[in-house]
Amino acid sequence: MTGGSDRTLETDSISSNLSFGQCIESKAKTAGKKLGILNKVKRYFTPEQLLTLYQAQVRSCMEYCSHLWDGSAKYQLDALDSVDRRARRLIGNDLVVSRLQSLEHRRKVACLAVFYKIHFGECAQELFDLVKPSPFYHRTARHRKNLHRYVVEIPSTRLGGFGRS
């Protein structure tokens, strides 16, 4: 069920404007094929075993480097969510399926993990050097006394569209 090429980010499918549409489509297609194989052999496995196989073989390829394309358009990410919904129907047991977190949740957690590593320098030094250090705030002003000690200031943008992303 696994192939060598599905564990690498397909850089040839990323467009010059960093649109991950083709890459996501390719991941969804690969995951759909793997899910099809799982569908053919499902009668030999319990729902718990199907869940384990799904997480190991199908979901892992949909989550690989997911923090990179998390900001993609919803219609692009819907292809991956569609495969996830098919898998939930395939497993069938609601109690077993309820243990699965949504793909969106998993992408958000991956993004936070990467942010944490970069913010605290647990990454390559070259990457850490690209990020400006957060300013240290003395807690003298009333509105700053309730700030967490690791607060990160988000700079304002000139374009309104990017401010909401």
pLDDT of 49 above 60: yes
Rounded average pLDDT over 129-138? 68
pLDDT of 6 above 70: no
Residue 126 belongs to some domain of the structure = no
pLDDT of 46 above 80: yes
In the structure, what pLDDT confidence band is assigned to residue 154 with cuts at 50, 70 and 90? low
What values do phi and psi take at 151, rounded to 5?
-60, 140
Residue 23 buriedness (CB in 10 A; 0-12 / 13-18 / 19+): buried
pLDDT of 160 above 50: yes
Supply the pLDDT for residue 94.
83
pLDDT of 126 above 60: yes
Residue 122 belongs to some domain of the structure = no
Mean predicted lDDT score pLDDT of the chain: 79
71-116 pLDDT, tens digit per residue, is 888 888 899 999 998 999 898 888 888 888 888 899 899 988 988 8
Buried b or exposed e, range 31-58, using 16+ CB within 10 angstroms:
bbbbbeebeeebeeeebeebbebbeebb
Residue 40 belongs to some domain of the structure = yes
Supply the pLDDT for residue 73.
85
| Position with higher pLDDT, 22 vs 10 | 22
Residue 151 belongs to some domain of the structure = no
**27 lies in which domain range?**
4-114
Residue 124 belongs to some domain of the structure = no
Residue 135 belongs to some domain of the structure = no
Query: What's the structural domain count of the chain?
Result: 1
Residue 130 belongs to some domain of the structure = no
- Pick from 54, 66, 53: which is nearest to 27 by CA? 66
Residue 73 belongs to some domain of the structure = yes
pLDDT of 125 above 60: yes
